[in-house]
């Protein structure tokens, strides 16, 4: 079983084995993919094809998206580490115990990562059905790079969801959270936003290589539907776990406050009914104080993100959606005037 579990994500583990800087490897992979592209273009029809945009549009998408994923993944890694570290002041255990806990919840199962890559590769094969149209080297290149791209995408989706599960495990620990200071949880919101923006950026980038006609084809619609659903799920899955945690903390605090309010109210009522005038002012202040505190607790946030994060997410979603809509409308012959 030890061989199937890793402390680091698969992509990170593979890069670490090479012992070269991450971005150097990214550049090297990109250059190799482009060199192979030039080679197959030459084998199929000479360098004249390299001057035609259609040639680049069809073949460049996969290499560019692969390079994009490799470029932004270190940022996602840093956001993930900050999200895990956000729990350090909330879990009342020794530092070494916390480190062991982080190591335990961060372990990944290698077979699941490889399965995600396999599913992504099979997904694009099933949609594109290359056995019908492949008859040139450029077609072979396109199929292989597309399988590689969707394999990495499948792994990336799995990695983001698994990271959210790790945060979920931490959120179910015995947390000491101040309901009025949930800014400590902002790194979790930033991770969710970062993951979502990464996918939205990839979607926007891929739209550059799509024609108006291809956007109306069912394979393209299927691919973008899956990516959009994955983006939404990745954003909300960790948010929902933290939302549940905040609701539990808020509920416990409200139960405590209401018990105190009920106790102070009963004492005040008893003093009034017994005609005892002393300590009425003190009890009245206690009742008013607990009532005000109850209202304050009721207005506390139940989500770890603020309006700024929501606006950024909405604005980033609007960009690819607008591009997609404009291209579709142009196919239908509908002109948009501003």
pLDDT in tens, 92-109: 888 888 888 888 888 888
* CB-based contact 67:174 (threshold 8 Å): no
Residue 147 sits in the same domain as residue 271: no
149, pLDDT greater than 60: yes
pLDDT for the residue numbered 122 = 93
Note whether residue 2 is domain-resident.
yes
Query: Could you tell me what percentage of the chain is helix, strand and coil, using 3-state DSSP and rounding each to the nearest 5?
Result: 80, 0, 15
What mean pLDDT comes out for the span 242-247? 79
State both tokens at 264: 């102070």
Residue 275 sits in the same domain as residue 127: no
Residue 135 sits in the same domain as residue 282: no
Note whether residue 284 is domain-resident.
yes
Residue 272 sits in the same domain as residue 148: no
| Residue burial 157-196, b: 16+ Cβ < 10 Å; e: rest | bbbbbbbbebbbebbebebebebeebeebbbbbbbbbbbb
pLDDT for the residue numbered 329 = 63
CB-CB neighbours of 48 under 10 Å: 10
Band of pLDDT at residue 46, cut at 50, 70 and 90:
low
- Could you give the 3-state DSSP secondary structure of residue 5? strand
CB-CB neighbours of 291 under 10 Å: 15
- What is the chain's mean pLDDT, rounded? 80
More confident residue, 206 or 70: 70
Note whether residue 73 is domain-resident.
yes
The upper half-sphere exposure of residue 253, i.e. CA atoms within 13 Å in the direction of its Cβ, equals: 22
Nearest Cα neighbor of 203 from 114, 312, 318 is 318
Note whether residue 18 is domain-resident.
yes
Nearest Cα neighbor of 22 from 33, 36, 11, 38 is 11
pLDDT for the residue numbered 277 = 59
pLDDT digits (tens, 9 = 90+) for 186-219: 888 788 888 888 888 888 888 878 777 777 778 8
How many whole angstroms separate alpha carbon 242 and alpha carbon 164? 10
Note whether residue 333 is domain-resident.
no
What mean pLDDT comes out for the span 328-336? 57
Query: Residue 108: which H helix or E strand, with range?
Result: strand 108-109
pLDDT for the residue numbered 274 = 65
Task: Report the percentage of the chain scoring pLDDT > 90.
Answer: 14
Note whether residue 34 is domain-resident.
yes
How many whole angstroms separate alpha carbon 239 and alpha carbon 306? 12
What mean pLDDT comes out for the span 127-135? 81
pLDDT for the residue numbered 152 = 93
Q: What are phi and psi of 181, to 5 degrees?
A: -135, 70
Residue 36 sits in the same domain as residue 147: yes
Q: 């009532």: which residue's tokens?
A: 291
Note whether residue 47 is domain-resident.
yes
Of 21-30, 75-84, 192-201, 239-248, which gets the smallest average pLDDT? 239-248
3, pLDDT greater than 50: no
* Domain coverage including residue 42: 1-83+106-157
38, pLDDT greater than 90: no
Residue 263 sits in the same domain as residue 152: no
289, pLDDT greater than 50: yes
Note whether residue 37 is domain-resident.
yes
* CB-based contact 24:127 (threshold 8 Å): no
How many whole angstroms separate alpha carbon 231 and alpha carbon 225? 10
Number of domains in the chain: 2
Q: How many residues does the chain have?
A: 338
Residue 41 sits in the same domain as residue 147: yes
What mean pLDDT comes out for the span 48-71? 79
Q: Is the pTM of this model over 0.85?
A: no
Task: Report the percentage of the chain scoring pLDDT > 70.
Answer: 81
How many whole angstroms separate alpha carbon 229 and alpha carbon 241? 18
pLDDT digits (tens, 9 = 90+) for 155-184: 998 988 888 888 878 877 777 877 777 777
Of 139, 157, 175, at which residue does a domain stop? 157
User: DSSP label at 20?
Assistant: S
Residue 150 sits in the same domain as residue 8: yes
């Amino acid at each position: 079983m030890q061989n199937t579990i890793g402390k680091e994500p698969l992509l990170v583990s593979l890069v670490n084995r090479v012992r070269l800087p991450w971005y150097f490897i990214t550049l090297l992979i990109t250059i190799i993919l482009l060199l192979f592209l030039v080679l197959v273009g030459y084998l199929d029809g000479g360098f004249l094809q390299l001057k035609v945009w259609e040639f680049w549009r069809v073949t460049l998408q996969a290499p560019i998206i692969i390079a994009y994923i490799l470029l932004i993944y270190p940022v996602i890694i840093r956001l993930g580490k900050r999200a895990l570290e956000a729990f350090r002041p909330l879990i009342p255990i020794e530092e070494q115990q916390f480190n062991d806990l982080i190591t335990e919840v961060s372990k990944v199962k290698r077979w699941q990562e490889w399965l995600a890559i396999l599913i992504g590769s099979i997904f694009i094969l099933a949609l594109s059905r290359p056995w019908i149209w492949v008859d040139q080297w450029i077609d072979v290149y396109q199929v292989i790079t597309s399988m590689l791209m969707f394999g990495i995408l499948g792994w990336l989706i799995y990695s983001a969801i698994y990271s959210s599960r790790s945060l979920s495990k931490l959120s179910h620990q015995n947390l000491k959270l101040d309901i009025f200071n949930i800014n400590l949880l902002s790194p979790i919101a930033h991770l969710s936003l970062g993951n979502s923006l990464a996918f939205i950026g990839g979607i926007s980038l891929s739209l550059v290589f799509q024609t108006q006609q291809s956007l109306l084809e069912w394979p393209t619609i299927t691919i973008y539907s899956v990516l959009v659903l994955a983006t939404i799920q990745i954003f909300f899955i960790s948010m929902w776990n933290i939302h549940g945690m905040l609701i539990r903390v808020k509920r416990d605090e409200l139960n405590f406050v209401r018990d105190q309010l009920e106790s102070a109210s009963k004492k005040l009522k008893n003093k009034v009914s017994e005609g005892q005038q002393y300590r009425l002012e003190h009890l009245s202040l206690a009742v008013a104080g607990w009532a005000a505190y109850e209202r304050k607790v009721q207005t506390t946030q139940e989500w770890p993100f603020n309006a700024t994060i929501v606006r950024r997410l909405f604005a980033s979603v609007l960009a690819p959606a607008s591009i997609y809509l404009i291209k579709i409308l142009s196919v239908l012959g509908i002109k948009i005037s501003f």
